[in-house]
Amino acid sequence: MRDLPPLKAVRAFEACYRHGSYTRAAGELNVQQPAISHQIRRLEADLGATLFSKRGAAMAPTSQAHDYYRIVSTALADIARASARLRRQRQDSSITLATYPGIASFWLLPRLAKLRKGSPQTVVRVTTAERDTDIPLGEVDCAILFGEGHWPGFESRLVIRERILPVAAPRLAADLTGSSPRQLLETGPLIHLEDPEARWFTWQDWRDRFAPGAQDLDQSVVVTNHGVAIHQALQGHGVALGWTGMIGDLLETAVLKPTHDAPLESTRGYYLLMSPAFRVTPACAEISRALGLD
């Protein structure tokens, strides 16, 4: 066993060889491109061999890489198949699902409660992280992530389309009745979601669509978590941009009310990501039914 190279480096090599690109390999493994370069250098140092050569802006595998890939790819495929068989044989239907805190609190957990009533033998462990880069796709059975629907190496199914409305607690919504979009933006109170990765709609996007003449945006509250933003709105502290698919129950019960009728929509959304090995398990069928996908 001491002769084995680092497994992360081997996985990085296999993905780089198959994709012919460090960048695409990084996307599949959900890491940054420099991390892939580091793992390849680490593996080359361990083996004492050059695996990829530069040809202008492109990279090409060496003859040694060709031979190594044939053995490595077969070994990793055998490991994946053996692991999938064991997972299918588990007597308990245990699932590890990763997603963001907001969607876990307001959308996922209520549906999992219904799953537990119908299938008490199914155990679902939910792990959350704010950023995509902090979600370990290689260590979970499935995930609910936001994007366009394309994650290399995973099958994805849309669960919530991006469709947002400004929402507030009933008393504040009543106070804002008659306010124009421009007045809402300039006087608030607005709850802003700070997103360093620039993934979701912001109040700036809402302004561009509904009130391009608005000047300064109210900056009453800034949070870094969509769940916290909705919680602040429930407490009556401001108007938040709410994903209608996520807070549908709160809208139906009038716990939150829209302050503007027209939604802002895109082609993006929240997707359930499933690895090929997990996709064929009974547990996958269970979670798909719980999320309304079957």
Q: Are 159 and 270 in contact (CB under 8 A)?
A: yes
pLDDT at 80: 81
Q: pTM for the full model?
A: 0.62
Final residue of a structural domain among 32, 61, 88: 88
Structural domain includes residue 151? no
What distance, in Å, lies between the first and last C-alpha atoms of the chain?
44
Measured distance CA(289)–CA(11) in Å, rounded: 32
Q: Does residue 211 form part of some domain?
A: yes
Q: What pLDDT score was predicted for residue 85?
A: 65
167/264 same-domain check: yes
**Within-domain flag for 119:** no
Identify whether residues 259 and 172 lie together within a single domain.
yes
Residues 257 and 166 in one domain: yes
The residues, ordered by sequence, that sit 6+ positions from 204 with a Cβ below 8 Å of its Cβ are 217
Is 219 among the domain residues? yes
Evaluate whether 253 touches 61 at the Cβ level (below 8 Å): no
Distances 26 to 17, 85, 180, 211 between C-alpha atoms, Å: 12, 27, 45, 39
Range of the domain at 57: 7-88
CATH number (domain holding residue 171): 3.40.190.10
Are 83 and 172 part of one and the same domain?
A: no
Query: Where a domain ends, among 37, 53, 88?
Result: 88
> Does residue 228 form part of some domain?
yes
> Which residue positions in the chain have pLDDT lower than 70?
1, 56-57, 85-93, 117-121, 294
Residue 289 placed within a domain: no
- What is the count of structural domains for the chain? 2
Task: Assess if residue 256 is contained within a domain.
Answer: yes
Question: What's the pLDDT at 206?
Answer: 92
Calpha distance 215→199 (Å, rounded): 23
Query: Can you read off the two tokens belonging to residue 183?
Result: 């007045």
CB-based contact 175:238 (threshold 8 Å) = no
Domain edge (last residue) among 88, 120, 135: 88
pLDDT at 91: 47
Same domain? For 169 and 259 the reply is yes
Task: Please report whether residue 136 resides in a domain.
Answer: no
CATH of the domain at 48: 1.10.10.10
Q: What is the pLDDT of residue 56?
A: 64
